Amino acid sequence: MSHNATLANTLFEDVDFTSLTWLERQWMAWYLYIGNPVLATGLMTFLIHEIVYFGRCIPWIIIDAIPYFRRWKLQPAKIPSLHEQWQCTKLVLFSHFTVELPVIWFFHPVAEALGMRTHHVPLPSFSEWLPQVAMFFVFEDMFHYFAHQALHYGPLYKYIHKIHHKYSAPFGLAAEYAHPAEVAILGTGTIGGPLIYCAVTRDFHLFSMYIWMTLRLFQAIDAHSGYGTYPAVLIVRQGRTKLIDIADFPWSLQHWVPFWSGAEHHDFHHMAFTNNFSTSFRWWDRIFGTDDKYRAYRARVKAAKVASKTERDTMERKLMAEVEAEGIRAKAEVLRGTEKRKEKVQ
């Protein structure tokens, strides 16, 4: 009996192959081809992560290179150069290979020990994985909010989180541009939800994990894309008023999910530094009041009355400059506080 036949009998015993879908047959074929479940899972997980991450970044890189799309750029004066994107990519790849790859490699045995199905077919249905992914989004958003706030504390900011704040106007590739320690800390929220769910229910499939991982990467990259919807302003011209958007990106998920954070919410965090710590949703920032400057900014824009697009652009640049200046002062204050504590210890 061949090795593949023996492995098939071991891994897929009692499986009715005729009832499998095309995708399920490919899933089974992958595990048989690699021949080692741990290796097959680790390799597939890392490949999916890299393909999804950089695959999702490519459209934003192209959009940044086309002037037509500047009308939807939240900070249109700040377009990342190719050099900046390459420097960013190098650190991202470093983190992927030094932090994420080892975690991915050990995820299979840990998750299996907690009851996760990996090579098993059939794959979970839409009705099975959808509520799981929804719960993971809620859990990750909560974890990220509090962990992200902690990373703005003096020493943690200075030695870890400061790297991610290099860009006051983020772009897609910068989603995972961070210190390896930050990648590990915030990544805990991404894998923590599935692991807890798996430990409690003993009923979770790796396929559901891949769907969650893909959607989470899309969310993170899109939140850092720099393209989104800013609040409307009132244009007054010849006695008539018209409400228009500063930037109304047609593909913003905010159009359908009002409490979705999106690029506009997180872009402000990179400008203002002290607001908008959540990832996917807005409710934690609203509950704890860490969106006060953001909401004040939106109110100022909405209340403004301008006579032309030129005035609108001038007003927008002025308000953004004020917000960014406040953010720079806030960063400096955090760093000064760290130095003072260091001096006291010495």
Residue 301 above 80 pLDDT? no
Residue 4 above 60 pLDDT? yes
The reported pLDDT for the residue numbered 345 is 59
The neighbouring-strand residues paired with 229 are 248
Pick the closest to residue 195 from 108, 306, 298 (CA basis): 108
Average pLDDT, the chain: 85
Pick the closest to residue 38 from 120, 119, 121, 97 (CA basis): 119
The reported pLDDT for the residue numbered 281 is 95
The reported pLDDT for the residue numbered 311 is 66
Residue 257 above 80 pLDDT? no
Query: For the ranges 187-191, 245-249, 330-334, 339-343, which has the lowest average pLDDT?
Result: 245-249
Residue 82 above 70 pLDDT? yes
Q: Where are the domains of the chain?
A: 3-70+81-222, 232-345
Query: For the ranges 75-84, 106-115, 237-246, 335-344, which has the lowest average pLDDT?
Result: 237-246
Contacts of 72 (CB under 8 A, 6+ apart): 227, 228, 247, 248, 249
3-state secondary structure the chain: CCHHHHHHHHHCCCCCHHHCCHHHHHHHHHHHHHCCHHHHHHHHHHHHHHHHHHHHHHHHHHHHCCHHHHHHECCCCCCCCHHHHHHHHHHHHHHHHHHHHHHHHHHHHHHHHCCEECCCCCCCCHHHHHHHHHHHHHHHHHHHHHHHHHCCCHHHHHHCHHHHHHCCCCCHHHHHCCCHHHHHHHHHHHHHHHHHHHHHHCCEEHHHHHHHHHHHHHHHHHHCCCECECCEEEEEECCEEEEEECCECCCCHHHCCCCECHHHHHHHHHHHCCCCCCCCECHHHHHHCCCHHHHHHHHHHHHCEECCHHHHHHHHHHHHHHHHHHHHHHHHHHHHHHHHHHHHHC
Q: Cβ atoms within 10 A of the Cβ of 332, count?
A: 11
Query: For the ranges 62-66, 123-127, 133-137, 334-338, which has the lowest average pLDDT?
Result: 334-338
Higher pLDDT among residues 290 and 272, named by residue: 290
Query: For the ranges 143-152, 171-180, 235-244, which has the lowest average pLDDT?
Result: 235-244
The reported pLDDT for the residue numbered 305 is 58
- Please write the tens of the pLDDT for every residue from 269-285: 998 888 999 999 999 99
Buried b / exposed e over 171-196, threshold 16 CB at 10 Å, is: bbbbbbbbbbbbbbbbbbbbbebbbe
The reported pLDDT for the residue numbered 308 is 58
The reported pLDDT for the residue numbered 230 is 56
User: Average of pLDDT values for 4-24?
Assistant: 80
Query: For the ranges 126-135, 162-171, 238-247, which has the lowest average pLDDT?
Result: 238-247
Give me the percent of the chain exceeding a pLDDT of 90: 55
The angle that helices 37-64 and 206-223 make with each other, rounded to 10 degrees, is 20
- Please write the tens of the pLDDT for every residue from 213-249: 999 999 999 999 998 765 444 344 444 544 444 445 6
Residue 1 above 50 pLDDT? no
